[in-house]
Structure formats: C-alpha cells, structure tokens
Structure 1
Amino acid sequence: MKRDVIKINEEKCTGCGECIPGCPEGALQVIDGKARLISDLFCDGLGACIGNCPQGAIEVEQREAEPYDEYKVMENVIKAGPNVIKAHLKHLNDHNQNEYLNQAIDFLNRNSLEVPDYEGENESQCGCPGSMMRDLSGRRSKSGNEPQVLSAELRNWPVQLQLLNPNVPYLRNADLVIAADCAPFAYPNFHQRFLKDKVLIIFCPKLDKTIEQYVDKLAEIFKKQDIKSITIVHMEVPCCSGIEVIVKRALKKAQKNIIIKDYTISIAGEII
C-alpha cells in the first residue's frame, strides 16, 4: 500500500518554524534547530506545511507504507536523540494513542533507554492545538443576551461531500461554499454571512478517512459543473488548513483556475 508522507530536507531547513502552524496533525516540531516529523502516524500527506516553508525544504513523497509498527518507528526515533524521543511520546499521549505509547515505552525499556517525562509540558508547548480543550461557556454574543430568529439560507441537501452527487443540477454554474464541518457551529452568523445564494459542501480534513476520494469528487465537480466561485471557511486550528490543500489539489486535477476566497474562523467565533 502506498501513501503520501512529507519529507524534510535537513540541509535546506533553517529551523524557522514557519511550517509548524501549517501541520494538519501537529506532527511537526522544531527540535535541535531543525523541523522534524516526530511521527509518521499522524502525517496524512496533505502537505499543508509545504506552502509555509520559505526555504522549500519540505516535499511530499509517495512510498510503500506497511501497517503501522510502533517498534519500527521507535528504531528511527531514537536515532534523532532524546528530545525527539520525548516529543514522540508526548505526541502519542496527547492523541490518546495509548497502545502505541505503551509499545514505545516497552521498546525503550527493552533497549535500556531512559523513558523521558513526556507529561511534564503543557498543551500550549506541544501537541495538536486542534485537540486542545477549551471552555467557551463564558462567551457571550456581541448582540446581547436576547436570542434572535434568523432565516435559514441553506439551498441544497445533502451537504456532506461524501454523500454529494457531482452530477446534481444545482451545482451547475454554482457559487460554492466549502467549509470545515466545525465552522458553521463556531460562527453564529454562518448562514447570513456565507450561504445566501450559494451551494454548501462540508467535510473534515482531519477525521474523514476518504481524502483522496474527496479530491477526485471535487475535481469532477469543478470539471463538469462550470463552478463560478469558491469560498472556503475553516477553523483557525492547524488541522483545518487541509481544506484549502484539498481544494487546490482538486482544481489542479480538474485543470481549472477558479479564484478562492479563504475565511478563517477563530475558536471564539469570529472571522480572523
């Protein structure tokens, strides 16, 4: 089985850290002055980090990928030194990969290597910001406490890309809104701000397991339906940046040049 994984050219890498916010899975960190992929497990190969590298030190390579084996991964991790070992263990812990974490610790114990304190740093220093827990219960709408009745602007169904038929007539000459599926919940004025007279498509670039199918389906839509415009709406967390990458890959595959408007929604529910 082949899959895409990023590859970092250490000679070109300056350790600037520009790629870190663009990593969809939080799998990149700057360690010992170089950007490091601390775990193949969380690299989905979308390459969102590539566009943030000013040195062109990151590329996506396709290679044969065996079923994930934490013991084999640890053989490579330990070669990079104790800081990378610690970062890898913390990454597994932050993503609740307990089985792999136990295997990694077992590997260290078998080889008489020290198990670092991977739980000693807070979430803001390491880990995936998209999974960071936040309590938003204290937030209040700027319009006050009185609820407002707003009209729905949704004009198509289904909205989930996996369920959407690329040949439906309402896609012809449509203005598309392609949104991460968290965005409509986070932004209270989503219908009025983005949906009026547009067709909605939603998916999650982090949790959905059909990314390649999404690229193919979007490419088919772009090729067949003469789409007029594309508006992307995604959250500020790094994993959501995969939306734009997927759309651009689909445009390239369809050989179409459509202007994209890109909006980022903060966790607090505002347009950044």
Structure 2
Amino acid sequence: MIRKIIKIDKKKCNGCGICADACHEGAIGMVEGKAELLRDDYCDGLGDCLPACPAGAISFEEREAAAYDEAAVKERMAAKKAAAAPRPAESQLSQWPVQIKLAPVNAPYFDNAKLLIAADCTAYAYAAFHSDFIAGRITLVGCPKLDAVDYSEKLTAIITNNNIKDVTVVRMEVPCCGGIEQAVKTALQNSGKMIPWQVVTISIGGQILA
C-alpha cells in the first residue's frame, strides 16, 4: 500500500539516538551509529521522531510500505518492557524445613551455623530479607501468636545439640513478636552456652528500627 512514512537521511544523522527514544513504537533503532527505520510496519506515520531530531535528518515520504501493525507493536513493546523489568533476586535459603516446629533438632547444616530466627511477617515486611538476613545463615521462622506455642524448648535443644556460631533474631515492632525474642533468650540461657546474638526489629513500614 502507498502511505506516509518517515525517511532518515543517514548523511545528516549525527547518531545522537534521540529519535529512537522518541519513537513510541520502536520503529527506529541505531545501526552502526546511525538511526535506521527497522520495519515499515512499526512506523505509524505520525512523526513523533521528527521534532526530536536536532540534525534535521528525518522527513516524511509517501511510498509503498507495509501497513502499520499496531498489534505487533504492542506485543513488541510489552516484551521489551518485561525484559527491562527488575528480576527477582535468587533465593538465599539453604535448607528445609524452615518452620521452627518442623525443624529437626540435629541436622548437618546446623554445624558451625550462623542461625537466623525470624518472625514470619518479617520476610514480607522487609524487601531485602533474603540478601540482608537469610544469606549465609540457617533460617528458622515462626509466629508464637499463631502457633500458640513456646518455642524455647525446641530452640534450646537445637542450640544445645549443635555448634551454633551466632544467633540473629529478626522480629516485627508489634508486641506479639516479643514472644519469639523471649523464646530465643530463654533458649540461650538454658543451653548454658555463651553465643553472640543480636535482635533486629522491623517496622510495619519495612524499615529496620534497631
């Protein structure tokens, strides 16, 4: 079909790439440092790229060209957007199970382990939970309010029967999370071991408070 479509003068093109950015359909690309119309059916002929060109290298012409394929353009741009979207980080979890109630008392992964004991909600509230807390640690999670159980006996057994290097407790700022912190304190005391430990508190807004 004969229709209006853009024309790029490569002699005038200075390779700035502004036109490629201005083309919402992705019809223009940079090839060997020069702007180029990649496909006729991606050009809608509206010329959003014309005023963007500082070198005056783009103009309109009427010629035989494939019809503008709006569906193909939308599919291409959706794929481009998906490819540019941030990809989720890889899981840093190194063992299973993670629930305190289900965890074994003895397991090879506890040997010389840095132990993370976390309230269930913390992984949802704190976006970088895997990279900042799980990485390099053996992870145990629980919610004393929902489980309606005192974890101290199970944690005492784990700490007593294994060579734990240190313990990190991650809890939410809400009062019910005090149960998991207290359970760890009790377990450490009952084990009779002097193990370095720390408590990190996460706000309901996902920020580290302490």
TM-score w.r.t. length of structure 1: 0.45
Partner residue of 1:178 out of 101, 110, 117: 117
Hey, what does 1:268 align to over in structure 2? 205
**Which SS does the other structure have where 1:155 is aligned?**
coil
Hey, what does 1:195 align to over in structure 2? 134
Distance 1:190 1:158 in 2: 18
Distance 1:245 1:159 in 2: 19
**Which SS does the other structure have where 2:127 is aligned?**
coil
Partner residue of 2:168 out of 228, 231, 240: 231
- In structure 2, give the amino acid aligned to 1:151: E
Partner residue of 1:244 out of 158, 172, 181: 181
Q: CA deviation at 1:258?
A: 1.3
- In structure 1, give the amino acid aligned to 2:195: I
CA deviations on 1:126-169 (whole Å, 9 max, x unpaired) are: xxxxxxxxxxxxxxxxxxxx544211100010000100001111
The Cα RMSD (Å) is: 1.2
Q: CA deviation at 1:244?
A: 1.4
Distance 1:240 1:209 in 2: 12
- In structure 2, give the amino acid aligned to 1:183: T
- In structure 2, give the amino acid aligned to 1:264: T
Distance 2:155 2:197 in 1: 14
Distance 2:146 2:88 in 1: 32
- In structure 1, give the amino acid aligned to 2:115: L
Matched, 1:149 2:88: yes
Partner residue of 1:218 out of 149, 152, 155: 155
CA deviations on 1:42-84 (whole Å, 9 max, x unpaired) are: xxxxxxxxxxxxxxxxxxxxxxxxxxxxxxxxxxxxxxxxxxx
Distance 1:237 1:245 in 2: 14
Matched, 1:259 2:196: yes
Q: How does 1:124-163 map to 2 (within 5 A)?
A: 147-163=86-102
CA deviations on 1:166-223 (whole Å, 9 max, x unpaired) are: 1111111100010001100111100000111110000112221221xx2111111111
Hey, what does 1:204 align to over in structure 2? 143
Which structure shows the higher strand fraction? Answer: 2
Distance 2:127 2:184 in 1: 24
Structure 2 stretches of 5 or more lacking a match? 1-84
Structure 1 stretches of 5 or more lacking a match? 1-145
Distance 1:183 1:210 in 2: 19
Matched pairs, number = 125
Identity over aligned pairs, percent: 46
- In structure 2, give the amino acid aligned to 1:233: V
| Greater C-alpha Rg | 2
Q: CA deviation at 1:263?
A: 0.7
